[in-house]
Amino acid sequence: MKFNQALQVAREESFDIEKPEVSVVSISSEITIIESLDGKCHIKIFADSEKAKSLAQLVEIIEEGKNLTVRVDKKHRSFWGLTDGGLHGLSVELSLPTTSNLSVKTVSGDIEINHSLSNLDVASVSGDVKISQNSTENCTVKTVSGDISTHTFSACTYTLKSISGDIKVSVAPDLNIDVDGNSISGDLRSEISLDSGENSLPPENKVVKITASTISGDFNLARN
């Protein structure tokens, strides 16, 4: 989460769930994922004002078996019964165990993943998606006008799609790549050799499989 001295913790909840299925739905809130140090799921809602602090109580946090849902997208009723469109001024930080499967949907909020998960599925309209630790199985990211940036340190299968956004995948030096990338009205660049010499018969646990497509955006491959 971007450092902001004005942010204050408005709400905290914790859940002990084995191999949790976590879903986050948001309109404009920034979403940050970090490592859980005790194996539990911890949720912190941050507010940037006293008004936003009171709105944090309207965030829906629902636990149903292995499923944990966080919704920051509901409208709230203000003075004279009018609604003002959503829960503004809130940011969400989730501490999750590595065994988590995570789905995030947002309209304009940025998403930052700072911890390795089992599976990751992200959909964003205009927010940027930054992944500093790739998931260990599958990672699917779709954006309309937001950029996608991911740093990869282990084998993973990527599906990355963007309209009017750039895609950059940085891969650790000890990993090989199997890539299918295309761009309409954008550039394709790679710092990694894609010939058969570098990528011939690598161990399966050392291969990053990437399917990437952009419209009016660039696709870049680089080394970490």
Show pLDDT as tens, one digit a residue, over the chain (224 residues). 554 557 899 999 999 999 999 999 999 999 999 999 999 999 999 999 998 999 999 999 999 999 999 999 865 545 444 444 568 899 999 999 999 999 999 999 999 999 999 999 999 999 999 999 999 999 999 999 999 999 999 999 999 999 999 999 999 999 999 999 988 998 999 998 776 445 455 677 899 999 999 999 999 999 98
Run of H or E residues at 50: helix 50-55
Cβ atoms within 10 Å of 75's Cβ, excluding its own: 12
Domain topology for 8-109 = Pectate Lyase C-like (2.160.20)
Q: What is the pLDDT at residue 73?
A: 84
Q: What is the pLDDT at residue 83?
A: 43
Tokens of 126: 């205009």
> Strand ranges (DSSP E) for the chain?
8-15, 21-26, 30-35, 41-47, 60-64, 67-72, 90-96, 101-106, 111-113, 119-124, 129-131, 138-143, 148-152, 156-163, 167-171, 176-184, 188-190, 207-215, 219-223
Domain limits of the chain? 8-109, 116-224
Kindly compute the dihedral angle of the four CA atoms of residues 182, 185, 191, 192, in this order, to the nearest 10 degrees: 10
Q: What is the pLDDT at residue 84?
A: 46
What predicted TM-score, i.e. pTM, was given to this entire model?
Answer: 0.89
Q: What is the pLDDT at residue 79?
A: 44
Q: What is the pLDDT at residue 60?
A: 95
